[in-house]
Amino acid sequence: EAQVTQNPRYLITVTGKKLTVTCSQNMNHEYMSWYRQDPGLGLRQIYYSMNVEVTDKGDVPEGYKVSRKEKRNFPLILESPSPNQTSLYFCASSFFGGSSEAFFGQGTRLTVV
Amino acid sequence: GESVGLHLPTLSVQEGDNSIINCAYSNSASDYFIWYKQESGKGPQFIIDIRSNMDKRQGQRVTVLLNKTVKHLSLQIAATQPGDSAVYFCATHTGGFKTIFGAGTRLFVKA
């Protein structure tokens, strides 16, 4: 089954404790991206990757890092989480970047206390 | 900066009626437009898309209309069903690799 898998689905952490949210896709897509979803703001793009070892900032990259060492994986790293990063996070992948439909993961609800 | 906005944060329709969800975008260079549906507890799911060289595209019970003159996009759902209850997002793409999402419209379907 074609899918994008994120882990964990839920995470509560404390300010400053480094964490990684994993994302994996099995569709051989070149393009992957991370979004955060906050009430009333829709989805805002954090980072995206056009291919292995190629990443770029989205609209809200501050406080986040990403890496793309393999085509299928695109982890999101919060080196020092802060409460304003409490949000619902989605990973997505697609064939042709923003010009083709994106497949989304189930989401990761992160709470930073 | 570039923005995508929806006209109504919520929409309530009677089961069996047609629904129309609207979206306005700011960048006239936007060349690809997508509608996503997000059910509670799930990630957004692709519904239908349209490119800037078209003004209408139809799918199964859904139609997307694009008016580039006024930078307006709409999603029409025919014979709305309870399973259509969800949040609907429009998204625009302008060259490159960035996608801009609107804030979403929550559709309530009354039985």
The per-residue pLDDT string of chain A (113 residues; one tens digit each, 9 = 90 and over) reads 889 999 999 999 999 999 999 999 999 999 999 999 998 888 999 999 999 999 999 999 999 999 999 999 999 999 999 999 999 999 999 987 767 888 999 999 999 99
Contact B92, B100 (CB under 8 A): yes
Residue of A41, A56, A98 with shortest CB distance to B99: A98
Residue of B9, B45, B89 with shortest CB distance to A43: B89
* A6: helix, strand or coil: strand
pLDDT by residue (tens digit) across B23-71? 999 988 888 999 999 999 999 999 999 999 999 999 999 999 999 999 9
CA distance B14 to chain A (A): 25
CB contact under 8 A, B32 and A58: no
* A10: helix, strand or coil: strand
pLDDT by residue (tens digit) across B65-98? 999 999 999 999 999 999 999 999 999 987 767 7
* Chain A environment of B99 (Cβ under 8 Å): 33, 45, 98, 102
CA distance A42 to chain B (A): 4
CB contact under 8 A, A98 and B32: yes
**CA A65 vs CA A21, A23, B72: distances in Å:** 11, 13, 35
* Chain A environment of B101 (Cβ under 8 Å): 35, 42-44
Residue of B30, B98, B105 for testing the chain A interface, max A β-carbons within 10 Å: B98
pLDDT of A97 reads: 72
**B34: which residues sit within 8 A by CB, 6+ positions away?**
A101, A102, B46, B47, B48, B49, B90, B91, B92, B93, B99
Ranges assigned E (strand) in B1-111: 4-6, 10-14, 19-25, 32-38, 45-51, 56-58, 62-67, 72-77, 86-93, 99-101, 105-110
Q: How far is B4 from B41, CA to CA, in rounded Å?
A: 23
The angle at the Cα of A103, spanning A97 to A105, to the nearest 5 degrees, equals: 125
DSSP string computed for A85-102 = G-EEEEEEEESSGGGS--
